[in-house]
Amino acid sequence: MADDSTKRSDGETAEMELDLDAQTVDLDSAMRDAVAAVEAVEDGGAQSGNGGGGGSEGSEVERLRREIADLRDRSMRTLADFDNFRKRSERERQEQRRYSLFEPMREFLGVVDNLELALSAQGSADDLKQGVEMILRQMQELLRRHGVREVPAAGAAFDPAVHEAVSREEDPNVQAPTVTAELRRGYQMHDRLLRPAMVRVAVPAETPQPAESGE
């Protein structure tokens, strides 16, 4: 759930950043067009000399100058908003990463409580064993709830992507490398490997090569 919310938040942040970038580009383009228009009017006024008719051109230049000032002000406000938005988004991402395990940790507190009760309980060794087994089942249920599952090991075909072979032995009864014993359990979370399973592997026995007869 935390991964989905993180992806959704990152997607919304990227989309808003693109919108602000587009607004900034539009303002910059409009500002360049306005500056070009002012320069064109000023160039035209300079070519026509200082005679009559300069009043209308002067008013046009003044209008365009006001438009440029307005565009520059809007551009600065947009850039300031974008900078504030980027800082706020970064703070939110850091906060989300910091507390992404908040809910899972709260659920695992129940396991800690039961372990403390088991340690403080007075009873036989069988009672203690039963209590530990109950806590283990609780732990396994929490792991499954958060997408963690065990890596298949004993009896499965050896897979170097999820198995770590710590020993191997030849076995004429297998046709391909096969896990014969699990020394440490491995786990996956969704489609990622948390840790490989440490296993013992049986491999097909090598067929002895016939000796070459001499001439």
Confidence (pLDDT) at 20: 57
The CATH number of domain 149-206, selected from 2.40.10.220, 1.20.1440.130, 2.30.22.10, 3.40.50.1820? 2.30.22.10
State pLDDT tens for residues 21-52.
665 666 666 666 666 666 666 565 555 555 54
> Do residues 153 and 202 lie in contact, with contact meaning Cβ atoms separated by under 8 Å?
no
pLDDT under 50 in the chain at which residues? Answer: 1-2, 5-8, 52, 215
Confidence (pLDDT) at 215: 47
Owner of token pair 């991402």? 93
Query: Which tokens hold the place of 162?
Result: 């999820």
Confidence (pLDDT) at 67: 83
What is the arrangement of strands in the sheet containing 178-184, beginning at the earlier edge strand? 163-170, 197-203, 178-184
| Amino acid occupying residue 207 | T
